[in-house]
Amino acid sequence: MNINISPIDESENPKASASGVFGFFAKEGWTGGSSMYVNLILYDDFEEMDAFVPVSIFGCLRDEFSIRYLSMTGDVVNGSQGAKIWTDYLIPEEISGIVLIPGGKGARRLLARDQRFLECLKRTMEKAETCLMVGNSSTLLAQTGLLYRRLVAECPLDENWKRMFTAEVRWIQKVPWISDGKYYSCASSASAVKMTLGYIADTLDVDLAEMAAKKLGFFWNPEEGE
């Protein structure tokens, strides 16, 4: 079962919303007709399942979502299993809608050695309406300070690294996914299915989430988040 917890302080932790470049989406009164951007942020050695599980779900709802592949280099990015993805250049000031960031082996390298990437990521997330984090990508956000006292689904991480790079994050154990304000996080590629469907149900409409799950052959119970 997922845990969906409201922000600690609404003034500091705005409620999650999904505002695309062409209009505002909300569950209450939503009628469809426009699409919002899903901005997939990639880097070398990203975990391909972390990225493409959510993308496959958003891709089932092409009238609602438009997917963009972005990176710091605006060039070909290599996944950890060998996929080569052509990306557009990431410009934080032009971001709107959803930002999705996968985890992977490359996340650990960025966390330790690439302050420029972390600064760019922080500006990007500040512009986004919603942030979806899969696996250890939450450690990247933690290092920017944006997850200060936020509730985050715990992912496998060395305890020394956790102390060094993710202080003041409120890790929640043994949950597939969790949301706190505009920040959604999940523990693994497998739980990214539930998180993405949960996000769609929260923000747009549960019927759309069920339709996407059915198209991909996923069994999903919206009452249980599974």
Would you state the pLDDT for residue 10?
36
Given a cut of 80, is residue 28 above it in pLDDT? no
196 inside domain:
yes
Q: What confidence tens digit (pLDDT) does each residue in 91-106 have?
A: 999 999 999 999 999 9
Mean pLDDT of 31-59: 90
Q: What is the pLDDT of residue 160?
A: 66
Structure tokens at 125: 């997330």
Domain count of the fold of the chain: 1
Using pLDDT thresholds of 50, 70 and 90, give the confidence band for residue 108. Answer: confident
Quote the domain boundaries for residue 159. Answer: 3-216
pLDDT of residue 7: 39
- Residue 190 in domain: yes
What sign does the dihedral 52-201-17-188 (CA atoms) show? negative
DSSP H helical ranges for the chain: 48-59, 105-113, 115-127, 137-144, 159-165, 189-203, 206-216
Domain-located, residue 8: yes
pTM: 0.82
Q: For residue 222, is it within any domain? A: no
Q: Is residue 223 part of a domain?
A: no
Does residue 45 form part of some domain?
Answer: yes
pLDDT at position 223 over 80: no
Q: Which residue has the tokens 């070398």?
A: 44
Mean of pLDDT values over 7-30: 35
pLDDT band at 23 (very low <50, low <70, confident <90, very high): very low
CATH of the domain at 9: 3.40.50.880
Which has more confidence, 180 or 17?
180
Query: What local confidence, expressed as pLDDT, does residue 226 receive?
Result: 56
Within a domain: 94: yes
Q: 96 lies in a domain?
A: yes
pLDDT of 71 > 90? The answer is yes
For residue 213, pLDDT over 90 is answered with yes
